Structure 1
Amino acid sequence: MPPIVIHHENCEATILPEIGFNCVAFRVWIDGEPIDVIDTTPEFLEGEGRPSGNGIPILFPFPNRIEQGKFSWEGKEYQLPLTPGHPHALHGFVLNRPWRVTRQGENFVIGEWQLSVDAPELEPHWPTDCRIEIRYAIKEQVLRSDIRIVNPDERPMPWGFGTHAYFKLPLGSSGAVEHCLIQAPAHKQWELEECIPTGAILDVPAEKDIRTGAYVSRTKMDDVLTDLRPTGSMLECVILDEQAGIEMIQACDPEFRELVVFTPPGRDAVCMEPYTCVTNAINLQQQGIDAGWQTLEPGSMYETWIEMTARRLIV
């Protein structure tokens, strides 16, 4: 299936159903200038490169890593396929696989993926069947993702969810990476050993404290932040291009409890990744640690949302 472009007045987005229902482009026109919010390499658009390294990868039924791909569930041991080049299983099942488009219109598209339907060869690696549906809709410079997670099985379904958006820097043609700041209301972080949480939660060190804003070029991160404190009914992460006078706001459901911030080396981009649970949560939870891991009863569904927009900086 070819890319799907949705649009509304002064914004548009491009989605690749064949590669994880990945939104690889979100463009907003501000005062006549096209602002590309999402970072995707030209190679990826030509069919090469990592699905986890471009656009907005969807992470389900677990985000980030499961240590060595191993876990137990209801007395049974499971071994996930390991991600090539890594000692762990990374980023779930759906980010590199075709999705089915169930509905679409001029300014929206809905995609669906189900384990038993779209990747039956992976069924032995997960305790139950699982299904995810995402609706991308665009309106008035806002790209909204409505996420629905469904348990189609007769047993309780374990799950976690996240996104891995790559945001392009700078935001405007007159901007510079050195003048771009990131901001998020994260007051704590998980202690990591080789990217796997130990279970301890620590204060954020001063050099990685982004609560009041920090310059991306001086803040090298690959960290799992927590103790997120929403403003009102939403959690907001911000990129501010102070030289171009443009800001990008990623708002999401306050039910998201972790935020991975990653500054990919050698690339003018930053990832701000909302998760419903921490890395390796399925194992941490069974050690008595509140890691955010969830189960969904048979026939039940969980709904959440993420929005992003770019706009002229309000001063």
Structure 2
Amino acid sequence: MTGYIEDITFLNEKALKFGNEKVEAILAPSLGSNLLSFKYKQKDIEVLRTPVCLEEYKKAPILYGMPILFPPNRIEDGQFTYKGTEYRFPVNEREKFNHIHGFLHDKPWQVCKREVNGKEIVINTEFSSSEFDLKDSFPQDITVNMSLSLRAETLDIKLEITNKGIEPFPWGAGYHTVFNFPFGPGGKLEHCRISLPVNKHWELNERSLPTGAIHETANTFEIQNGFSLEGRLFDDLFGYDEERALENECILTDQEAGIQVIYHADPQFKFWVLFNQEGYVCPEPYTWVTNAPNLDLSAKLTGLRELRSGETVQLRTLLSIKDI
């Protein structure tokens, strides 16, 4: 069976349904180019948390699918200054007076390419800041292109960020990927394990911002080889030492459902946030640490990087599903 792409309406918006004999996915370009569904057809299992209606989605859009974060996580007081330029974001986490999750995930993107090449499906979408009034928040001119390539049960996602302006800007990116966990309906968390490629735990204050203190992770062997979320809630920030770098992937295993999801990120994603609630878990790969521009720490430690005029950076993640 060759791949396919279909135009559908999802959450009252135009969307693209695409797939092959193994998996089927739904991408909503007008909703931040969010991958809102990734279904394993072999067992009829939806691995991503997918909203059943628009009203449900509107209550918490960040808790469905794979929202793109730029910048990722929190910015203290919603602002920072870099090389004399001020960046001011709306304070949308009022109880902690932070900005959270950036401006890409809730803006419409444009579809630039869609094609089926035998068993490979390729879709490109693009965001351009010139189409929006973002000067008060992010005064630089940028474009972000996302390319999705599906072959068999693996989705390859590339994110390209280009500085179209004159001045350099600091950048950090990530994903707020929300997995159903357990995967199977009616499944039990006791049969599930998750592993993360980390060995450092960043201490957070009452505003969920890094204090600057970094500790060895507790039970490092367990967290790197698979642990249970049963009875445990996380909203934690982790990293790892480059000299001890593991394969940079989060592995989610559901023995009862009989499947495993491998969430791979390229080495530029130096940090992982782990957040979970009943029924779902968010392993979030980031290129910079929470609130990086406001931390009195080295850029090497925080992951803060600069994109100069005309430069492009490419980030890559992969989602794969397999039977166990």
- Is the Cα–Cα contact under 8 Å of residues 287 and 303 in structure 2 kept in the other structure? yes
Q: Which runs of at least 4 in structure 1 moved beyond 6 Å after TM superposition?
A: none
Hey, what's the Cα distance between the residues in 2 that align with 1:41 and 1:177?
A: 21
2:323 maps to 312
- Is the Cα–Cα contact under 8 Å of residues 190 and 225 in structure 1 kept in the other structure? yes
Alignment deviations for residues 28-74 of structure 1 (CA, whole Å, 9 cap, x no partner): 123xx2121101232348753222111101001x1000001021122
Change (3 A) 1:252 1:288: closer
Which of 151, 156, 159 aligns to 2:163? It is 151
Which of 118, 137, 162 aligns to 1:125? It is 137
* Secondary structure, counterpart of 2:302 in structure 1: coil
Which of 84, 91, 95 aligns to 1:82? It is 91
TM-score by length of 2: 0.87
- Is the Cα–Cα contact under 8 Å of residues 64 and 90 in structure 1 kept in the other structure? yes
1:280 maps to 291
Hey, what's the Cα distance between the residues in 2 that align with 1:45 and 1:165?
A: 20
* Secondary structure, counterpart of 1:26 in structure 2: strand
TM-score by length of 1: 0.89
1:94 aligns with 2:108: no
Hey, what's the Cα distance between the residues in 2 that align with 1:216 and 1:27?
A: 23
Structure 2 stretches of 5 or more lacking a match? 1-12
- Is the Cα–Cα contact under 8 Å of residues 44 and 54 in structure 1 kept in the other structure? no
Change (3 A) 1:260 1:35: same
Deviation at 1:124, TM superposition (A): 2.5
Residues 143-292 of structure 1: matches in 2 within 5 Å? 143-173=155-185, 175-194=187-206, 195-206=208-219, 210-227=223-240, 230-231=245-246, 234-264=247-277, 267-284=278-295, 287-288=297-298, 290-292=301-303
* Secondary structure, counterpart of 1:210 in structure 2: helix
Residues 57-76 of structure 1: matches in 2 within 5 Å? 57-60=67-70, 62-76=71-85
1:134 maps to 146
- Is the Cα–Cα contact under 8 Å of residues 188 and 203 in structure 1 kept in the other structure? yes
Structure 1 stretches of 5 or more lacking a match? none
Deviation at 1:207, TM superposition (A): 9.7
Hey, what's the Cα distance between the residues in 1 that align with 2:127 and 2:32?
A: 9
* Secondary structure, counterpart of 1:125 in structure 2: coil
Hey, what's the Cα distance between the residues in 2 that align with 1:308 and 1:18?
A: 22
Which of 16, 25, 28 aligns to 1:13? It is 25
Hey, what's the Cα distance between the residues in 1 that align with 2:137 and 2:54?
A: 28
Deviation at 1:201, TM superposition (A): 0.9
Hey, what's the Cα distance between the residues in 1 that align with 2:85 and 2:58?
A: 37
Hey, what's the Cα distance between the residues in 2 that align with 1:275 and 1:268?
A: 23
1:114 maps to 128
Hey, what's the Cα distance between the residues in 2 that align with 1:71 and 1:244?
A: 45
1:23 aligns with 2:35: yes
2:10 maps to none
2:314 maps to 303
* Secondary structure, counterpart of 1:298 in structure 2: coil
Count of paired positions: 303
Change (3 A) 1:197 1:37: same
Q: What is the identity percentage for the equivalent residue pairs of Structure 1 and Structure 2?
A: 33
Change (3 A) 1:203 1:36: same
Change (3 A) 1:227 1:75: same
Hey, what's the Cα distance between the residues in 2 that align with 1:184 and 1:46?
A: 30
